[in-house]
Chain A
Amino acid sequence: EAGVAQSPRYKIIEKRQSVAFWCNPISGHATLYWYQQILGQGPKLLIQFQNNGVVDDSQLPKDRFSAERLKGVDSTLKIQPAKLEDSAVYLCASSSRSGVGGELFFGEGSRLTVL
């Protein structure tokens, strides 16, 4: 079974530029999450999708971050314009259930460096 795929693995941009990350969850997984992991900290949930609907985006900085999950499969996370503090690893995860005690499967992450 293929795991969660993410791209690109690494991205370096200047502040105020834009960037987009892509995630393809495990086939059949209805729930998809984007987490931000800043160096030295645990992952922080940015947004949760159930199929193509948003369940929770309370911690997404909506003035600069956006995410979509068209057709309920793969997802894109965009940052525009980027700030220095957005330097982090962006983790995508999926689960087969709505999260009730279910296991989240994580991708390898996309490491963003903002200069």
Chain B
Amino acid sequence: AQSVTQLDSQVPVFEEAPVELRCNYSSSVSVYLFWYVQYPNQGLQLLLKYLSGSTLVKGINGFEAEFNKSQTSFHLRKPSVHISDTAEYFCAVSGTFNDYKLSFGAGTTVTVRA
């Protein structure tokens, strides 16, 4: 089975500053990795995913994440945040063979202040 740990439960950040959300995963097999965002009172929306190939993955709204196999990490970054990026962010993992269900982390709440 796979699992993820999101290392920060809350991240306050000023508008136009960079932000990094940390995610570490645990698995004995190859994995697929995902970041989802949940805006207030809305469902989860896919930001980006890593399946294979380039370890630097670009997603929507200017977000990117880097897969690091040796450190079992998949940190999410954005160089300059906006007020509209205030949301909860979830890292998720699935297996790559015969076990594709998503396991989510506990989430990181990002609050962007002017």
Contact = CB atoms under 8 A, between A and B. Distances in A.
Interface residues of A, number: 23
A48 B102 CA distance: 11
B57 interface: no
Nearest to B46: A103
Nearest to A4: B43
Contacts of A2: none
Interface stretch (A13-21, A63-71, A78-86, A104-112): A104-112
Contacts of A103: 46, 49
Given A42-B90, A43-B90, A101-B49, A106 B104 contact: no
Contact of A99 (B43, B45, B94): B94
Given A106-B44, A106-B45, A107-B43, A99 B51 contact: no
Interface of A: 3-4, 33, 40-45, 48, 56, 91, 93, 98-101, 103-104, 106-109
Interface of B: 6, 32, 36, 41-46, 49, 51, 90, 92, 94, 96, 100-107
Closest 6 CB pairs of A and B: A42-B104, A99-B100, A106-B43, A106-B44, A101-B51, A108-B43
